[in-house]
Amino acid sequence: MKLVTYLHDGRESVGLLEADSVRPLPFADMNALIEAPRAQLEAAVQAAGAALPLSTVTLLAPIPRPRQDVICLGINYRAHADESTRYDAAAFGGERPVPIYFSKRVSEAVPPQGYIESHLGLVERLDYEAELAVIIGRTARNVAAADVADYIFGYTVLNDVSARLLQTTHKQWYFGKGLDGFTPMGPCITAADEISFPPALAISSRVNGEPRQDSTTDLLITGIADIIAELSSGMTLLPGTIIATGTPAGVGMGFDPPKFLKPGDVVECSIENIGTLRNTVR
């Protein structure tokens, strides 16, 4: 089951994504769908409305306006840790005995075909990060690692767009990661029961057609079970909470010389069994 938020005739709705169409579902938005009892969702899927051709709708981010900041992990693939240290040892080097968590402010997530804002005059060294994002399906507090899979609603693709100079200058990452237009997400949420846990999915990115990142999501330093168990030990994770699990090697700052983004560049982030984000920098 793949779920989307879309625009049709000026109205924002949620639906079931099929090969070349969308079937409407009777929920106010994606957060309401996620919170619905499983039996209600399954009944709604069985009774979904008439199919709308994909050519007649505009896909939005699956959760266009998250209720809370996105929770992110930094430096969560070893090869990315190495390239980050090469770029700026003072900012990214050193031992990391525990995960790095930070939050990403998202007033409105960027649609799968939307625009990444370059923020000319404010941002230098604009970068991309393809990431697997986990969507929490029910209230999670003090969840054991062995039980985490039961709390996951599904997965989506997230591009953790980053302003590297802001990120390193401020010594923490909130400003450099949380600007408007910095969170492309989608194209859909793939239900958790369609993906084996823990996910071992191909993840990649391309810029203007050039391959950049190429890895698999089973190479996380801190796995999804440990992430959610640790976070839920001290905070309540509500349904619809989005957790971005980190990015593999191949980001712009990892090249010599670096390959940062500029207006007009097209960034594609793909994850197996979910889909591709294709966003243009403006």
What's the pLDDT at 123? Answer: 97
If pLDDT is split at 50, 70 and 90, which confidence band does 82 have? confident
Q: Which has the closest alpha carbon to 3: 198, 135, 105?
A: 135
Mean pLDDT of the chain: 96
If pLDDT is split at 50, 70 and 90, which confidence band does 200 have? very high
Span 221-272, pLDDT tens digits: 999 999 999 999 999 999 999 999 999 999 999 999 999 999 999 999 999 9
Taking the C-alpha atoms of residue 282 and residue 280, their distance in angstroms, rounded to an integer, is: 6
Here the tokens at position 29 are: 């938005």
What's the pLDDT at 96? Answer: 75
pTM summary value:
0.96
The set of residues, in sequence order, having a beta carbon less than 8 Å from that of 225 and lying 6+ positions away, is 145, 146, 148, 149, 198
Q: What is the 3-state secondary structure (H, E, C) of 43-112?
A: HHHHCCCCCEEHHHCEEECCCCCCCCCEEEEECCEHHHHHHHHHHCHHHHCCCCCCCEEEEECCCCCECC
Taking the C-alpha atoms of residue 127 and residue 207, their distance in angstroms, rounded to an integer, is: 11
Span 21-78, pLDDT tens digits: 999 999 999 999 999 999 999 999 999 989 999 999 999 999 999 999 999 999 999 8
If pLDDT is split at 50, 70 and 90, which confidence band does 85 have? confident
The angle subtended at Cα 222 by Cα 177 and Cα 164, nearest 5°, is 20
What is the DSSP secondary structure assignment for residue 26, as one 8-state letter? Answer: S
Q: What is the dihedral of CA 202, 239, 223, 278, to 10 degrees?
A: 30
Q: Which has the closest alpha carbon to 189: 13, 7, 36, 15?
A: 15
If pLDDT is split at 50, 70 and 90, which confidence band does 202 have? very high
Contact 138, 156 (CB under 8 A): no
How remote is the C-alpha of 140 from its chain's centroid? 19
Burial of 264 (0-12, 13-18, 19+ CB in 10 A): exposed
Taking the C-alpha atoms of residue 203 and residue 188, their distance in angstroms, rounded to an integer, is: 15
What's the pLDDT at 224? Answer: 98
